[in-house]
Every structure is written in structure tokens, then in C-alpha cells.
């Protein structure tokens, strides 16, 4: 294989709360055209010459969501493979496991192109030219980073000082005064966080500069099961050994120490979409500088971004605001304080509030469920099961469940019985009964589930059999 794109998909996306959550991070945010940032990264990768496969490193809890996103846009049937982390250990660990896997499966001469799942690149032609230049440098033994030509004195990005294609030094996020100096000098570019190298080269560099990370990652890869899934090869990293891998960024662990670092200067329309301000700038503004996604009525409103969901938003006499409405959380922020949204996310996480982690609609390998209403001793859900999909054989200690089929047909295991439930029919699952829900049809199964009992938490579940390996 000549070129293998590696997509790193993870992070919390705390600055894009409440649309981004821990189990629905920034790469899965849908833009106005209906595509997610992850889907755009995938399409960008498969459009490159010579690409036959895309390797994605992601959290195992995001695997099925990632598969679904790829399946929606993978019309050309490009092969996909996955390294599944039990938890995040930063980018050096992700690159190490990807390099070890690439060298073993495809050979050390394979060129790896490391891409972030949550960036946007507007100019695909310029991107392809930059990748071609990076491939040539990588095949000559260089460790290549992509430096984006700056057009503003941005303080939210790291910088690279460059002399031709040689990296002089990496600079952390500067003050505004320093950023202006860098822009005026013409010697500095933004650090995009994208890289290119052969598998053999980066393994040698990591052995020299961070042998503890590479050694721990290699040991974990040896102990971790590999399997061929429906959508491609999967390596599921074992939690015990993966926790021993030191947690460092790839920039700090390798790039800042590397004597063979090279930079490709490029103007590719790049942005890391790191805040609601950056995301809002992707939408066209009206005559008053307002940007609206969803349904909204504005009166005497200026320079405001409103992103709605199912509800109408009305705004009167306000300016310079960000308003983000989701079914279970509402954000109102000053546009100039967009970076501080992460403080709300951090506080929610510290309190254990579920809105930092999941949306009211939760994705599962078999489909989705949405919490419609809940109160003392009851919870009402809307459940959608994909054609041919099946929930685990399970049991709940504390809750009873009533299932009403709205559309489609359900195949149900309830205790010792197995039977079908058609549209407008229902069944009752008592607490303590083993049960399973399956969609045997070719259309979506939609049902309403009413739970009742003393405890209705999602952790009240005992799985006996599960086709997705969650027992």
C-alpha cells in the first residue's frame, strides 16, 4: 500500500457543548449540508490518489457510531479498519499503535497520513497537492507536518517557524502581540496537527524520542485481540495494558525533538472548528450579521448566531450572542467568550450531570433510543431498531417494561417465550425476566417503551448474550 490515511477520532469537544458531548464529540457534529466533520475527513481521505483503505483510531464506545457515519458516505466501498481504545491516552499513543499496526499489516515503507477527524479543509485540490509533496518528503525519511499559511494573527493555534521545508522550531499559542509579529515576518505557519511519514521512519523516531510510549504500545498491541468485523479489521486494545501507555501529545513526544522534521506550507482553507464562533462563521450572515440554523424569528438583533432544533427561537433586541438549543440543554453565551463554554462542560462533568456525556437521543450499535419524558418511577422512550439488528439478551432487576410497536415488526424473547409483535400491538416485560428485542424485517422498527419501577438507571442491566461483544 502506498498511502494509508489514519483518522484520529476522539476528544470531548467541550467548547462545542451542548451539541458536542463525551459520547457524541465534535467529529460527529453535522454541518448545514448534513455531513459530519468525521464524514468530511473520510471523504477527503478516500479522494486521494492510491488510497485503498482508511485506518481509524477511536474510542470503542464510538466504534458503531463511526461505522454508521462511514457507511452513509462510503459509496466507493473503500476498505475501513479500526484500532479501538478503551479510553484516550492522547495522540502519541494513537500514532504509536497505528504505526505498529501499519508496519505489521502493510509494511514499513507504507506512507501514513495522519488526519484529525474534526478539521475542515475547503480546498481539496490544494490539499491533494500538499499531500503529494509530503509523500515525497516522507519517502526520503522525513517526518512531515503541514503548516497552514496564516492570514490573521490567530492566538488559538500553535505556530511553526520554517526555513523552506525545514522546521526551525515549534511555538505554543502566542499572545496577540507575538502572533502579529509572526504574521508580519512571513516565517511562521499555523500548526495544523496533520502529519505524514512512513511507518518505519516514525517507529525509529519514537524509539529514539519516546521509547516508553512505543514499548508500552507495542506490548499492548501484542496482548490485544484482532478480528475481522463486518466493516473491516478491528484491534480492541486491552484496558489493563493500554493504561500503562504514557499520555502525551505527538507534538511534544516526537515532533519538537525530531531532527528530521519537515514542513509543507499550504493554503488549503483549513480550520480546526474549535469554538462556536468558528462554527458559526461557516454559515452565511444576513444584513445585520446574524446567522441562523433552524427556525427563528428575529427583531432588532445583530451579530448573533442561533442554532435551533425542534423549537422555534424568538430573539428581540440582543446582539453579539451565541444561542444553541438542544432538547435537554440550552447555551447562551457572549460571542467574545466562546472559548469559555468549556467551563460549563467541566462543571457538568464534575457534578456528574448526564448532559456532559450523552444527548437525549442515544446511539447504540442496534439503533437509537430517545428519552421522551421521565419522572418519579417512570420513563418513556422512543426506540428505533435497524433492520436485521438485535438488542442483547438481558434482564433488569428493578424495572418493568411495556413495549408498544408503532411501525415495523418486533421479534421478542420474553422469559421462555419467543413471539412476534406487529404494529399497534404491545407486550409486557416483568422485572427479572430475560428478554430480547429484534427487528427481523427490512424496514426500521419503531416502538414506545414505558418503564416503571423504583430504579430506572441505564446501569440496571445484566447482559447474557450480545452480538456486539458487550457482555
pLDDT tens digits, 184-198: 998 999 999 999 999
316 and 390 assigned to the same domain: no
Say if 349 falls within a structural domain. Answer: no
- Return the CATH number at 391: 2.60.120.10
Provide the pLDDT confidence category of residue 229 given band limits of 50, 70 and 90.
low
In this prediction, residue 230 carries a pLDDT of 56
In this prediction, residue 10 carries a pLDDT of 87
In this prediction, residue 12 carries a pLDDT of 78
Specify the long-range contacts of residues 66-71, CB closer than 8 Å, at least 24 apart: 66/9, 66/38, 67/231, 68/363, 69/28, 69/36, 69/38, 69/39, 69/42, 70/39, 70/42, 70/231, 71/231
245 and 292 assigned to the same domain: no
248 and 287 assigned to the same domain: no
Lowest mean pLDDT among 55-69, 219-233, 237-251: 219-233
Q: Is the pLDDT of residue 226 over 90?
A: no
67 and 180 assigned to the same domain: yes
- Return the CATH number at 147: 3.90.550.10
Provide the pLDDT confidence category of residue 1 given band limits of 50, 70 and 90.
low
Q: What's the rounded Cα separation, in Å, for the pair 459 and 247? A: 29
Say if 348 falls within a structural domain. Answer: no
Determine the average pLDDT of the residues in 226-244: 83
Q: Is the pLDDT of residue 47 over 90?
A: yes
In this prediction, residue 227 carries a pLDDT of 75
322 and 418 assigned to the same domain: no
In this prediction, residue 174 carries a pLDDT of 87
Determine the average pLDDT of the residues in 57-64: 93
98 and 190 assigned to the same domain: yes
Say if 208 falls within a structural domain. Answer: yes
Q: Is the pLDDT of residue 156 over 90?
A: no
Using CA atoms, how far residue 258 sits from 70, 158, 193, in Å, is 34, 17, 15
Say if 119 falls within a structural domain. Answer: yes
Determine the average pLDDT of the residues in 390-413: 96
Question: Residue 248: which of 213, 221, 283 has the closest Cα?
Answer: 213
Q: What's the rounded Cα separation, in Å, for the pair 99 and 107? A: 10
Considering the chain, what is the average pLDDT of its residues?
Answer: 94
Residue 116 φ then ψ, to 5°: -85, 145
Provide the pLDDT confidence category of residue 232 given band limits of 50, 70 and 90.
low
Q: Is the pLDDT of residue 254 over 70?
A: yes
Say if 200 falls within a structural domain. Answer: yes
- Which of 342, 370, 392 marks a domain boundary? 342
- Which of 312, 342, 372 marks a domain boundary? 342
Task: Report cis status (omega within 30 of 0) of the bond before 18.
Answer: yes
Q: Percentage of the chain with pLDDT > 90?
A: 89
86 and 194 assigned to the same domain: yes
Using CA atoms, how far residue 329 sits from 21, 213, 323, in Å, is 11, 39, 11
76 and 197 assigned to the same domain: yes
Determine the average pLDDT of the residues in 427-431: 96
Query: Cell numbers at residue 69, please?
Result: 457515519
In this prediction, residue 231 carries a pLDDT of 57
Query: Cell numbers at residue 157, please?
Result: 493555534
Say if 351 falls within a structural domain. Answer: no
Q: Is the pLDDT of residue 237 over 80?
A: yes
Provide the pLDDT confidence category of residue 32 given band limits of 50, 70 and 90.
confident
Say if 352 falls within a structural domain. Answer: no
226 and 365 assigned to the same domain: no
- Which of 271, 295, 320 marks a domain boundary? 271
Angle of helix 37-46 versus helix 63-73 axis, rounded to 10? 60
Encode pLDDT of 306-356 as tens digits: 999 889 999 999 999 999 999 999 999 999 999 999 999 999 999 999 999
Q: How many structural domains is the chain composed of?
A: 3
249 and 373 assigned to the same domain: no
Q: Flag whether the pTM goes above 0.85.
A: yes
Say if 49 falls within a structural domain. Answer: yes
Provide the pLDDT confidence category of residue 11 given band limits of 50, 70 and 90.
confident
Encode pLDDT of 120-147 as tens digits: 999 999 999 999 999 999 999 999 999 9
- Convert the chain into a string of H (helix), E (strand) and C (coil): CCEEEEEEECCCCHHHCCCCECCECHHHCECCCCCEHHHHHHHHHHCCCCCCEEEEEEEHHHHHHHHHHHHHHCCCCCEEEEEEECCCCHHHHHHHHHHHHHHHHHCCCCEEEEEECCCEECCHHHHHHHHHHHHHHHHCCCEEEEEECCCCCCCCCCEEEEECCEEEEEECCCCHHHHHHHHHHCCEEEEEEEEEEEHHHHHHHHHHHCHHHHHHHHHHHHHCCEEEECCEEEEECCHHHHCCCCCCCHHHHHHCCCCCEEEEEECCCEECCCCHHHHHCCCCCCCCCCEEECCEEEECCECCEEECCCCCEEEECCECEEEEEECCEEEEEEHHHHHHHHHHHHHHHHHCCHHHCCCCEEEECCEEEEEEEEECCEEEEEEEECCCCECCEEECCCEEEEEEEEECCEEEEECCEEEEECCCCEEEECCCCCEEEECCCCCCEEEEEEEEECCCCCCCCEEEECCCCCC
Domain residues for the domain of 421 are 361-465
158 and 71 assigned to the same domain: yes
Determine the average pLDDT of the residues in 443-457: 96
Q: Is the pLDDT of residue 247 over 60?
A: yes
266 and 245 assigned to the same domain: yes
In this prediction, residue 467 carries a pLDDT of 80
**111 vs 458, residue with greater confidence:** 111
Amino acid at each position: 500500500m502506498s498511502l494509508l490515511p489514519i483518522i484520529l477520532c476522539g476528544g470531548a469537544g467541550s467548547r462545542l457543548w451542548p451539541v458536542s458531548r463525551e459520547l457524541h464529540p465534535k467529529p460527529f457534529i453535522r454541518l448545514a449540508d448534513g455531513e459530519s466533520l468525521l464524514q468530511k475527513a473520510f471523504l477527503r481521505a478516500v479522494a486521494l490518489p492510491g488510497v485503498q483503505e482508511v485506518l481509524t483510531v477511536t474510542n470503542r464506545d464510538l466504534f458503531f457510531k463511526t461505522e454508521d457515519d462511514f457507511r452513509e458516505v462510503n459509496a466507493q466501498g473503500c476498505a475501513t479498519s479500526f484500532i479501538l481504545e478503551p479510553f484516550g491516552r492522547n495522540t502519541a499513543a494513537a500514532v504509536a499503535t497505528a504505526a505498529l499496526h501499519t508496519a505489521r499489516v502493510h509494511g514499513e515503507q507504507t506512507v501514513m497520513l495522519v488526519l484529525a477527524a474534526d478539521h475542515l479543509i475547503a480546498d481539496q485540490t490544494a490539499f491533494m497537492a500538499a499531500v503529494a509533496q509530503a509523500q515525497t518528503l516522507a519517502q526520503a525519511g522525513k517526518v512531515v507536518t503541514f503548516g497552514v499559511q496564516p492570514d490573521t494573527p490567530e492566538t488559538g493555534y500553535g505556530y511553526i517557524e520554517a526555513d523552506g521545508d525545514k522546521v526551525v522550531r515549534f511555538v505554543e499559542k502566542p499572545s496577540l502581540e507575538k502572533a502579529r509579529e509572526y504574521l508580519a515576518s512571513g516565517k511562521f505557519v499555523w500548526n495544523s496537527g496533520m502529519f505524514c511519514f512512513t511507518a518505519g521512519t516514525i517507529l525509529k523516531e519514537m524509539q529514539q524520542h519516546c521509547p516508553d510510549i512505543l514499548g508500552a504500545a507495542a506490548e499492548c498491541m501484542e496482548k490485544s485481540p484482532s478480528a475481522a468485523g463486518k466493516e473491516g479489521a478491528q484491534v480492541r486494545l486491552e484496558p489493563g495494558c493500554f493504561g500503562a501507555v504514557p499520555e502525551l501529545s505527538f507534538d511534544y513526544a516526537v515532533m519538537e525533538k525530531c531532527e528530521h522534521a519537515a514542513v509543507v506550507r499550504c493554503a488549503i482553507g483549513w480550520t480546526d472548528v474549535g469554538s462556536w464562533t468558528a462554527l458559526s462563521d461557516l454559515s452565511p450572515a444576513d444584513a445585520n450579521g446574524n446567522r441562523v440554523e433552524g427556525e427563528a424569528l428575529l427583531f432588532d438583533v445583530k451579530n448573533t448566531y442561533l442554532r435551533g432544533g425542534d423549537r422555534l427561537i424568538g430573539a428581540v433586541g440582543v446582539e453579539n450572542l451565541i444561542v444553541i438549543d438542544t432538547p435537554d440543554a440550552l447555551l447562551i453565551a457572549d460571542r467574545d467568550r466562546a472559548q469559555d463554554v468549556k467551563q460549563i462542560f467541566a462543571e457538568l462533568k464534575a457534578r456528574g450531570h448526564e448532559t456532559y456525556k450523552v444527548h437525549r437521543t442515544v446511539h447504540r450499535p442496534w439503533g437509537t433510543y430517545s428519552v421522551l419524558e421521565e419522572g418519579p418511577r417512570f420513563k418513556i422512550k422512543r426506540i428505533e431498531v435497524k433492520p436485521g439488528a438485535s438488542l442483547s439478551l438481558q434482564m433488569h432487576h428493578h424495572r418493568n417494561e411495556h413495549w408498544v410497536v408503532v411501525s415495523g415488526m418486533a421479534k421478542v424473547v420474553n422469559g421462555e417465550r419467543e413471539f412476534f409483535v406487529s404494529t399497534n400491538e404491545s407486550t409486557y416485560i416483568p422485572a427479572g425476566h430475560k428478554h430480547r428485542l429484534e427487528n427481523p424485517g427490512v424496514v426500521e422498527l419503531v416502538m414506545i417503551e414505558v418503564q416503571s419501577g423504583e430504579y430506572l438507571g441505564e446501569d440496571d442491566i445484566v447482559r447474557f448474550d450480545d452480538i456486539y461483544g458487550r457482555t
